Structure 1
């Protein structure tokens, strides 16, 4: 599929602020190991700041900018055209180092007693992908999709206690379950055409997991939010990391005495 993504972020402030410093992780994955290809990417930012970019430790492309003059809003529009595929992401040269991070606890992924109990029926001797699929299915069948009960700071332990949440929460549960059984797994930020929610709406960014099947198999995407479970050509990957903290779409700080309001809209269109 060839898909167009228009991701708009608006920060509005109750009074003028200054010295905004912002990082943006919205460029679709276009590494040589990726199964998709980004043919076009533009970043339009209000106040026309100079935009810099770098690649972070996990291979994600990051754009960043500063706005020093007084302002009461910042609008960021990222527009991408991506050709998606069904292929499996391959392993990278530094996989051995990364696998240590993707096998351990992290900021939002905890091996708490509830996770141990949740995974007690699974055998660590199962093949990695079969085990990942079984965990993915159990999360989909056991948890309720309900926006508003969690936020971007909710850990896997919090979601386990609630028994409900959104795609980010389900991804964190899956990471905790897989890693606690010694299966390397990483968090993926991106989009899903025709359904970032179980109701089938393209409302915002989406999140899922990739399970490591070994050097020959590579990484396989699995999505506990949807009954189809496996990632296909409808998915657009932006980046990956240990959990949400490594790949937030937009992150920044500012100086001033004001209240901030954030609004996000995402539009996905099929070109072919």
Structure 2
């Protein structure tokens, strides 16, 4: 599939921030099943380019304001070609040891409820186990916007029984790690089905490491593995580690954010 993306994030600072620094993970991954035909990222209209690749294989750009600033607009857009590989992710530019993604974080640490869910879904085969876990997480946590926040932990989301894709992903990662299955958080974009409205935000899912396959994607929010409707951007130990935009602000500004994402077919004529 050939997909066009336009992702805009606008930050406001009141009073103006003395200085703003940004770390940007906004560049689509290139691997077997995904290629980039054209992609640009700008900050306040100025192009920014990756300056290094992390150990995870994500491209990183850095930006810093020249003096005080009251508004910062980050715009990422381009065309990405995707193939349905049944969720299997191969040939990323870096291959970190899978054991890194067994590490607990504050957002993904398992509690007794998550460990119980994990054990109940355990199968003899690791691949079957991860798919069973993905479905169990979706059944345990209703999709309910505004039920949680960006700082809600996996254990808290499990107790609430509701959340969004970030929460589904954190609980699935936590459950996988509880069974010694490496799992990582993935950020990206998802084109809505033809009979649905286009998404207005980024999406998140999980990749679990299965010995005979390597990394395999699982989207617990939709109960499937990623298809050619998905664009992979970056990964990390949790949402905070993988977030596309992370910043540092100097000054006591109140910060506001507005964002929108449009993903659509861009089939060649």
Normalising to structure 2: TM-score of the pair? 0.91
Give 2:225's match in structure 1, choosing from 227, 230, 244: 230
Take 2:162 and 2:199, find their aligned partners in 1: how far apart are those partners? 20
CA deviations 1:100-121 (Å, max 9, x no partner) are 1212312311121111122232
Aligned to 1:194: 192
Aligned to 1:178: 176
Aligned to 1:264: 259
CA contact (8 A) 2:206 2:219 kept: yes
Distance 1:70 1:206, change over 3 A: same
CA contact (8 A) 2:20 2:250 kept: yes
Take 1:218 and 1:81, find their aligned partners in 2: how far apart are those partners? 27
Please report the RMSD computed on the Cα atoms of aligned residues, expressed in angstroms.
2.0
Shift of 1:248: 0.6
Give 1:253's match in structure 2, choosing from 248, 255, 264: 248
Aligned to 1:8: 8
Gapped regions of structure 2 (runs ≥ 5): none
Shift of 1:207: 0.4
Shift of 1:266: 0.3
Give 1:37's match in structure 2, choosing from 29, 35, 38: 35
1:221 partnered with 2:217: yes
Take 2:93 and 2:191, find their aligned partners in 1: how far apart are those partners? 31
Take 1:131 and 1:93, find their aligned partners in 2: how far apart are those partners? 28
May I ask how many residue pairs the two structures share in their alignment?
263
Aligned to 2:131: 133
Matches within 5 A, 1:48-197: 48=46, 53-87=51-85, 88-90=88-90, 95=95, 98-123=97-122, 126-194=124-192
CA contact (8 A) 1:4 1:79 kept: yes
SS at match of 1:102: helix
Aligned to 1:240: 235
Take 1:90 and 1:7, find their aligned partners in 2: how far apart are those partners? 26
Take 1:27 and 1:36, find their aligned partners in 2: how far apart are those partners? 12
Shift of 1:257: 2.8
CA contact (8 A) 2:57 2:93 kept: no
Take 1:148 and 1:130, find their aligned partners in 2: how far apart are those partners? 32
Normalising to structure 1: TM-score of the pair? 0.90
Shift of 1:26: 1.0
